Structure 1
């Protein structure tokens, strides 16, 4: 018969290291992300779109809490925004069965586990932003922390390459010609490039944990995050909707991306 978690939390903490080694090393995370080969390819991009709404609800709930509107705060903080992905379900199952060994979980405990998986989603977004930034630095020698700042660079590169390839006097003269007279970019082409890049980024985000999990395991981040989860579950009372810093970092990347794009637009 399942035992309450508070009675065996010390044993659970001792199992954290083994849990991380099993599920978040290279082999373990590949096994986890097999679950994403399906509807997660649609759920994950939707969750990326819903992430700013999630942050807004959490921040509004925190403000309401400070102002004394506790019922409004609790309602906002408990609001479910994200679509449950198959990868998140698999991780929650592993936590409940492997780590907690089927201990009886209260609704509060389940909410805390759900927050844990949503934090992993935020880390996936951060990983994608870092990969996009790296792509901009390698390909164009400039910072592109998101799709908005990468799109003009990529669309210009593709249009230039296509024009040079089609130049009637050869690619060498074409490169010289379009070096002096830049290719005009239709608005529809820039928008289309942005859409394609956003679709690619959404797929990358779906599988970003394959890169992020082993790194976090190596740095001890997974272990610390799981220990914090256990501390919250074992606490008699406490908030169940604290805003993890990973969500804020993910949104800061979006704001930085938008700021860089606006700055470049004003300069051009």
Structure 2
């Protein structure tokens, strides 16, 4: 293939990619309207409720340590210790919930399905002359891999926002009620148990509850193990309910604010860039192989 034909083929490939991405962009608004209302979000959440009941609070608890580690790795990377960044990349931002998996599946099938791009390349009068079905099959695998990677990045970033919101709300409760900005589930459980032990002791004080409250404020009683365990369990259940509520409401809220539209268009931009870079490279390689085979024949 001479340089002129090569340029024509690559130009045709670029046109196919641009057409594919534009048609995918046209699906974004309808996808958001269908799946990110309160009712639809709740219906999707219902499918994996029992699993997500445990995963949401775990992810919420992990979100702040994860972001702290991420910030530390970025700082070390700037100092020249890039090996820590490579190690951090292997750490997951959380455990993927059933809701995340379902949203990823819907995005893959309803918005960013790659079959139309492969068919467009296959049916193209110019591209179809140069590329075999085996090469197109390999291209299809490449596109799906790039697509899945971009969708997973989108999904994890959206989930991280919800998880972080739940954690910040929990910390906010600790700050409002106990004046401590660092309390997690265990810390809140311990504080509540201490308050229960204080109130119980004060109510039984021989000089009355008011003086008892003052006395036990100076000499706080130690809560029993059962009080600490019970209070921690209550806080854990509260965090679970809070995480589920945040998860259900976050997508409809982002829909109203236009954040989903913006983020999905960024996803489309990123996918388009990767397709341009990688598929052009792959098609150049396949064209060279085809040319060598033709010359050998």
Instruction: Give the shorter-chain TM-score range.
Output: 0.5 to 0.7
8 A contact 1:124–1:212 mirrored in 2: yes
Which residue, 177, 181, 186 being the options, matches 2:223? 186
Match of 2:288 in 1: none
Between Structure 1 and Structure 2, which shows a larger proportion of helix residues? 2
Structure 2 portions without partners, runs of 5+: 1-15, 116-139, 277-297
Rounded to whole Å, the distance in 2 between the matches of 1:25 and 1:202 is 22
TM score, norm. by length of structure 1: 0.66
Report how far residue 231 of structure 1 moved.
Answer: 1.3
Seen in structure 2, the aligned counterparts of structure 1 residues 89 and 64 have a Cα distance that, compared at 3 Å, is same
Aligned residues: 231
Q: CA deviation at 1:58?
A: 8.6
Aligned counterparts, 1:81-230, within 5 A: 82-101=94-113, 103=115, 105-136=143-174, 140=177, 142=179, 144=181, 146-147=183-184, 150-163=188-201, 167=204, 173-182=208-217, 183-186=220-223, 188=225, 192=229, 193-194=231-232, 196-230=234-268
CA distance change for structure 1 residues 180 and 80 in 2, over 3 Å: closer, same or farther? closer
Q: For the Cα contact (< 8 Å) 1:36–1:86, is it kept in 2?
A: yes
Task: In structure 1, list runs of 5 or more residues that go unmatched.
Answer: 239-268
Distance 1:62 1:102, change over 3 A: farther
Matching residue of 2:56:
44
* Superposed CA offset, 1:16-56 (max 9, x none): 22222222221122112113312222333444455435864
Note the C-alpha offset of 1:236. Answer: 2.4
2:30 is equivalent to residue 14 of structure 1: no
Contact 2:202 2:216 in 1 (8 A): no
> Deviations for 1:97-144, whole angstroms, at most 9, x for unmatched residues?
222246464313212211222122211222213432553466x27464
**CA offsets per residue over residues 197-234 of structure 1, 9 Å max, x none?**
24532443244211222222221222212111111112
Distance in 1 (alpha carbons) for counterparts of 2:91 and 2:182: 29
Q: Is the 8 A contact 2:255 2:261 kept in 1?
A: yes
Q: Residue 165 of structure 2: SS of its match in structure 1?
A: helix
Q: Would you say the 8 A contact 1:62–1:73 is kept in 2?
A: no
Q: Once superposed, what is the RMSD of the aligned Cα atoms?
A: 4.0
8 Å contact from structure 1 (residues 130, 145) kept in 2: no
Of 227-236 and 43-52, the range deviating more from structure 2: 43-52
Aligned equivalents of 1:224 and 1:216: distance in 2?
10
Note the C-alpha offset of 1:89.
0.9
Quick one: structure 1 residues 184 and 232, their matched pair in 2 at CA, closer, same or farther if it must change by over 3 Å?
same
